[in-house]
Structures are given as structure tokens and as C-alpha cells.
Amino acid sequence: MASHRRPKQPSRTRVTVLTATAAAAVALGAQAAHADPKPSKKDVKAQVDKLYEEAEKATEQYNGAKSKQETLEEQVSTLQDKVARGQEELNELRDGLGSMAAAQYRSGGIDPSVQLLLSSDPDSYLEKASTLDQVSSKQAAAIKQIGDKQRTLKQQREEASTKLTDLSATRKSLGEKKTEIQGKLAKAQQLLNSLTEQERAELAAKEEARAKEAQKRAERSSEDRPTDLGDDAPQSGRASAALAAAKTKIGAPYVWGATGPSSFDCSGLTSWAYAQAGVQLPRMSQDQANAGTRLGMSELKPGDLVIFYGDLHHVGLYAGNGQVLHAPKPGANVRYESINNMPFQFGVRV
């Protein structure tokens, strides 16, 4: 006779294990199906170039904050010195008024107005002093001088306090920009490390060949001077001197925040070059954009500043015949490059 027993059901533990295994298999399959492919060498280069551009933009903001910090530190130091000297002068004036009071006491008593001035709340007296007839002319002059000095000291202390607050915010901004730059450069390096050694070598060789080709086009092999930079002469002696100084730095590495003499960022090179010509340019490319007369591309002469990108975060020196001499980006050296390789905004004649 056939058995009517029900088939044995799998245990709950077995069901759980089977379900989990099946779910994991489905998840792994879906993950494999949707996994992003390894980026190509071309994709990596595009991403790295974008990160380098963003890092350079942040570098110019860092340069601006650093320049502001240096200015604020100098201003704060000057104000603090003024406050210290002013307090000494105030103390001397008060001592002199105290000597008057002592002399009055010896001669028959202290003037009531002087008693009030030497009280614990002299400021309230200063507002009333002009209405007191019994104050002698000499005492009135001393009291006025003390009042003026107190008001000056108060203003200087308030100004110093404001500057210190601004300095603290600037230092914070400086640290944030530094972190941002380092993060972008680290991410760029991480992307480069995702390539094979051969792919990295090919990219480096291509970058080096591009730099050499630009330099080859811009220099004679027989003379240490440009060939295809055209016959245009600089508009001024300072522009000529700045360009000549920058040419001596061809091959120097780009380093963010650097101002020479062995490494540069973009505005570091232009400010250093013009400093050799006796001209002090602002540190930041956006400020250098306002350091002279703006020019269209057809008006450029050798030695003029050339400003690139909509936010004005890159600057170089016009070398002639459509060539720019600049510090391009992290991982590249000071070199000549076509003005058309970047989005030109305007030139600046210093």
C-alpha cells in the first residue's frame, strides 16, 4: 500500500542559508553586470587634466588668502605697536595731571574737577569737563589731551580687534584651500596610479614631447633666442626685462604656491619676472588682471600679461607670434605654448 506520509520539509536553517546564498549570487551577478569598466588612458588623462585645472584655480585662491594674511599680520602688528605707545603716552599724561593735583593739595587743596578726574570713572568726567568753570586753563588742556588720547586708543583697539578677527578667518580659509589643493592632487595621482606602468610612461612621454616641440618651435637651435616669436618688440623696457627673466626659467617645475627662483606656479612666475624688472605685481592672477591696461589679442606685445579662463585663474607672459611663456600646471615645467591652447580672456600691459 502506498505511503501517504508528506515529504520532509527543509529545515528553517537550511532555507535561510539557501536564500542568503541565492541573494548573494544575484547581487554579485548584478554587481558584475553593472561594474564600471576600468577607465581608459584617455579618460584618465582628461580627468587628471581637469583636476589639475581645479587645483590651479584653488592655488590662486590660496595665493590670494596668503597675501591677505601677510598684509593683515603687518597691519595688526603696526596697530598693536601704536596702542602700546599710546597707552604709555596716556599714562604719562595722567601722571602729569596727578602731579598738578599734588601741587594743588600742597598749596591748599585739590580742585574738585581734578578729584573727579582721578576717580575710578574718569570717562564720565571727560564729557562734563568742558562745563566746569573752576578748571584752570592748564588743567583743561591736559584733560582735553587725555580725552583725545583715550578716544584714539579706543579706535585703534577696535580696529586691531577687527583685523585680528579677519586674520583668523583668513588663516582658516588658507588651511581649507591647502587641503583642497592637496586633495585634488592626491586624487589625480590616484587616477594615474590606476594605469599600468606602460600607460603612465606613454602619458609622460607625450607631455614631454609636447613641451619639447613647443620649445623647439620657439627657439633657434643655433642661438639662444626665439625664432618663430616674430619681430614684435616689447612695448616697454620693463616688459622686455620681465620676459627676458622668465626665459631663464624655462624648464623650472610648476609647484603650487611657489614664487621662485627654482619653481613657480603661474602667477608666481609672472610676479617674479616683473620683480626682476623692478615692478611689484599682485600675487594673485585675478589681481594681476587689473594691474594695467587691458588688451585684445591683436594688441599684444612681448612681455604683456595674458589672462586665461573665465574666472581669470591662469596667467602667463606673451612671448610673440601667438606663443605664451608660462608655468602650465602640476607635473609640467615652465615652457612656451600656443595662446590658443587655453581660453584667452584678455592681455594686460603693465
Provide the 8-state DSSP code for 253.
Answer: B
Round to whole Å and give the CA distance between 246 and 291.
Answer: 18
The answer to whether 34 is a known catalytic residue is no
Round to whole Å and give the CA distance between 240 and 234.
Answer: 5
Round to whole Å and give the CA distance between 129 and 126.
Answer: 5
Round to whole Å and give the CA distance between 210 and 331.
Answer: 13
The answer to whether 313 is a known catalytic residue is no
Could you tell me where the DSSP H helices lie in the chain?
12-34, 41-106, 112-117, 122-128, 137-193, 197-218, 237-247, 266-276, 285-288
How far CA 255 is from CA of 15, 259, 307, in Å, comes to 61, 9, 19
Out of 4, 34, 266, 313, which one is annotated catalytic?
266
- Comparing CA positions, the residue from 227, 225, 258 lying closest to residue 321 is 227
How far CA 207 is from CA of 56, 200, 335, in Å, comes to 18, 11, 12
Out of 4, 34, 313, 314, which one is annotated catalytic?
314
The answer to whether 314 is a known catalytic residue is yes
Asked whether the CA dihedral 121, 127, 130, 132 is positive or negative, the reply is negative
Residues with active-site annotation: 266, 314, 326
